Structure 1
Amino acid sequence: MKNKSWISLRNTSCLLGCSLIIASVSAAETGYISPLNEFGAPDLQGTWSLATQTNLERAERFNGVLVISAEQALQIEARVQARNEASNQPSDPNREAPTAGRNVGGYNTFWMDPGERLAVVNGEIRTSVLVDPDDGKLPYNEQGRLNFAAAMERRQSYDGPEVRPLGERCMVGFGSSGGPPKLPVLYNNNTQIIQTESYVVLLAEMNHDARIVRIGAAHQDPSLYPWLGDSIGYYEDNTLVVVTTNFHSQQGMRSSLEHRFYASQQMEVTERFTRTAQDTILYQFTVNDPENYSQLWSGELPMTQNAEQVFEYACHEGNYALPGILAGARRAESEDADYAATDSNQ
């Protein structure tokens, strides 16, 4: 993705009162100057939300189009709001029991907070986080498609805790919520940014995943593969640039309801955090993973300031649900029954 004069974003309400859109104009036009912290670096501290209805990849219904009109966005957002309102209605106490053997679900809508609006960058209402490739699709190569399919197949296994998704085990958050790249998920989309002179901490609300970025440092020994990878960073004018590689072997599959992709341990992700308004950070990233992809792929979306603090994420390794999941699988095997369809993406 080429360097540009990136855009500042502001919240405005729709004239029809139906939609809140993150509008954007250039920093040059507004005269916005990013504040500096006590160390002379751009001040990015605070709590920021990535919640949006814009997914990583572009849905087929958009026919490859990245930017849609305000009228189209209103229709999409109105459907989301109507669905949420219907889901939030009290449950019918006289409803029939769910079908035997089917997945009865684990959440109601109260717990979900994926956002109701599409993301807007540079005044454009976006249909995908991905901006490169132009079609908004992940550019898998043949090996990448095989790796992705194998990882999806492993997710259907219940042989032991080690084969279950990391979010289900409370090891790291679901999907790529902790990053990199950081992507929106079904809930807990807040990230607290904390800065010192030598470090930046990116604390995701989801699972309290804390990524510690070492400023001006070199990567650690490549034999070390920490959760969330090894992140180093530097400041480029008003932008924090973070480069991450050497990922844990179990973090290859990133899967949620909003995004799903496979990555190698040697994937390199370059992130850019630019404060473009008092209440907005423009988040950009580029992924380099030649083992799985035929080219680099890049995305961007706004992070909006949240005056609230991050919530406690009361999930821990060995949580009580996991023995129940495995016990249910053993019961199904003893009865020679099929497993209920899993929906552990979130």
Structure 2
Amino acid sequence: MKKAILCIATFLMMANSFAAETGYITPRTEFGAPDFQGTWTIATQTNLERAERFGGELVISEEEAIQIEARVQARNEASNRPSDPNREAPTTGRNVGGYNTFWMDPGERLAVVNDEIRTSILVDPEDGRLPYSEQGRTLFAAAMQQRQSYDGPEVRPLGERCMVGFGSSGGPPKLPVLYNNLTQIVQTDSYVVLMAEMNHDARIVRMNQDHQQPSLNPWLGDSVGYYEDDTLVVVTTNFHPQQSLRSSLEHRFYGSMEMEVTERFTRTAEDTILYQFTVDDPRVYSQPWSGELPMNANGEQVFEYACHEGNYALPGILAGARRADSEGIDYAPTDPGQ
């Protein structure tokens, strides 16, 4: 707990220092609170954990960033080329995929925080890696293994079943995914609504209230908030047990029902919110861990996210597994991004 408080205090000093340096004056709502309303995107090529190729460095030069982003652009252009109509059929038993690049929107730029180009969303621990305990690694591995099961609908990933968005798109903490990275924020004097584009996951933050009893475990957890000067602070507990594994193509972590997430939203410019978070879960991690990334103003309207209207494909998925069982065929591996 002391470590978590230290992480949050460090974030507070950083956010206040940056606002003071820029001279930015946070706009206010009609009821006097700092105004975060609008549509924001967290799409970025920066991953949750830091890749080994960065040698432990959190910040890279503009020249290095240009090279990385150029490779991303080249890959996107190659993927957007028309498919060869005479191509061979997919290999038997392999996952044939379900989307082409047209539908993807993971972002093409690395995250920039305090004018620094970041190699990871994680800033603490300093090595940019999740600090799993031995027990935590066991829990994470077991959850990942269950994702390969097709015994029934209840063991399929939540995103596949359209219960909540993939990964941790709705949070907390909010992390970017392969597409639909918008968040619409609406404020009243009693509530703040954080609506994620993916699955229309609306997290309703009760302002200046106590948490509900621990026996109530809603999707996305139980969030309460308060204002600290120009910062919105949101504390979330009582997570749903089925939401323990947050897994997308690039970001995945495990959180127990005992996890507590503290988020901080600080507007640092007209078009930027600095989003910071600390995860405290002693059942899974050897210490609290913290991250930060920008939420950039988008100005777009958030359209309906239908998610297959209940996902009609699920009976086919399970029927295919039963057919594979009867014929002794191995399943195609589940895409880790689902």
Following superposition of structure 1 onto structure 2, how do residues 208-227 of structure 1 map, counting pairs within 5 Å? 208-227=200-219
Of 86, 90, 96, the residue aligned with 1:94 is 86
Residue 15 of structure 2 is aligned to residue 6 of structure 1: yes
Q: In the alignment, which residue of structure 2 is the partner of 1:61? A: 53
- Distance across 2 between alignment mates of 1:75 and 1:323: 44
Structure 2: stretches of 5+ with no match in the other structure? 1-6
Instruction: Report if the CA contact (8 A) 1:269-1:288 is conserved.
Output: yes
1:33 pairs, out of 25, 40, 50, with: 25
Q: Which position in structure 2 is the counterpart of 1:186? A: 178
How much does 1:318 deviate? 3.6
1:6-37 C-alpha deviation (Å, 9 max, x unpaired): 279xxxxxxxxxxxxxxxxx333432100000
- After superposition, the C-alpha distances for 1:55-98 in whole angstroms (9 at most, x for unaligned) are 10001111211111111100000000000000001111111111
SS of alignment partner, residue 6 of structure 1: helix
Q: Partner amino acid for 2:25? A: I
The separation in 1 between residues aligned to 2:142 and 2:264, in whole angstroms, is 32
CA distance in 1, matches of 2:173, 2:114: 20
- Specify the code of the residue in structure 2 equivalent to 1:152: M
Describe the superposition over 1:181-239 as per-residue Cα deviations: whole angstroms up to 9, x where unpaired.
00000000000000001000000001100000000000001110000000000000000
Aligned residues: 329
SS of residue matched to 1:149: helix
Contact 2:250-2:337 at 8 Å conserved across structures:
no
User: CA offsets per residue over residues 249-289 of structure 1, 9 Å max, x none?
Assistant: 10000000120100001100000001110000000000000
Contact 1:7 1:121 in 2 (8 A): no
TM-superposed deviation, 1:5 = 3.9
Q: Distance between the aligned counterparts of 1:7 and 1:121, measured in 2?
A: 14
Q: Is the 8 A contact 1:178 1:228 kept in 2?
A: yes
Q: Secondary structure at the match of 1:200?
A: strand
Work out the CA distance in 1 between the residues paired with 2:309 and 2:248.
19
The correspondence for 1:339, drawn from 319, 328, 331, is: 331
Partner of 2:3: none
Instruction: Tell me if 1:116 matches 2:99.
Output: no
Separation in structure 1 between the aligned mates of residue 96 and residue 223 of structure 2, nearest angstrom: 39
What percentage of aligned pairs have identical amino acids? Answer: 81
CA contact (8 A) 2:40 2:297 kept: yes
Partner Cα separation in structure 1 for residue 235 and residue 93 of structure 2: 46
Supply the RMSD in Å over aligned alpha carbons. 1.2
| Other-structure match for 1:261 | 253
CA distance in 1, matches of 2:252, 2:52: 16
- What TM-score, normalized to structure 2? 0.95
Equivalent residues of 1:200, 1:212 under 8 A apart: yes
Q: Secondary structure at the match of 1:4?
A: helix
Is the 1:193–1:202 Cα contact (8 Å) retained in structure 2? yes
1:80 paired residue among 69, 72, 77: 72
Give the aligned partner of residue 299 of structure 2: 307
For 2:220, which of 219, 223, 228 is the aligned residue?
228
Give the secondary-structure state (helix, strand or coil) at the position aligned to 2:57.
coil
- Relative to structure 1, the CA distance from residue 344 to residue 306 in structure 2 (aligned partners, 3 Å threshold; closer, same or farther) is same
AA aligned to 1:136 is G
Q: Which whole-Å CA distance do the structure 2 matches of 1:64 and 1:207 have between them?
A: 35
Q: Does 1:156 align with 2:165?
A: no
Residue among 321, 328, 339 paired with 2:320: 328
- As a proportion of its length, which structure holds more helix? 2
Query: Equivalent residue for 1:177?
Result: 169
Deviation by residue 1:285-339 (Cα, 9 ceiling, x = unmatched)? 0000000000010000000001111121111574111111111101100101101
Q: State whether residues 51 and 114 of structure 1, in contact with CA within 8 Å, keep that contact through their aligned partners in structure 2.
A: yes
Write the letter of the residue equivalent to 1:107.
Y
In structure 2, what residue type is equivalent to 1:125? I
Question: Is it true that 1:44 corresponds to 2:53 in the alignment?
Answer: no
State the match for 1:104 in structure 2.
96
CA contact (8 A) 1:175 1:345 kept: yes
Amino acid at match of 2:39: T
CA distance in 2, matches of 1:243, 1:237: 16
Instruction: Give 2:144's aligned amino acid.
Output: M
For 1:153 and 1:219, the matched residues in 2 are separated by 33
2:162 is aligned with 1:166? no
More off after superposition, 135-144 vs 28-37: 28-37
Q: Which residue of 1 aligns with 2:235?
A: 243
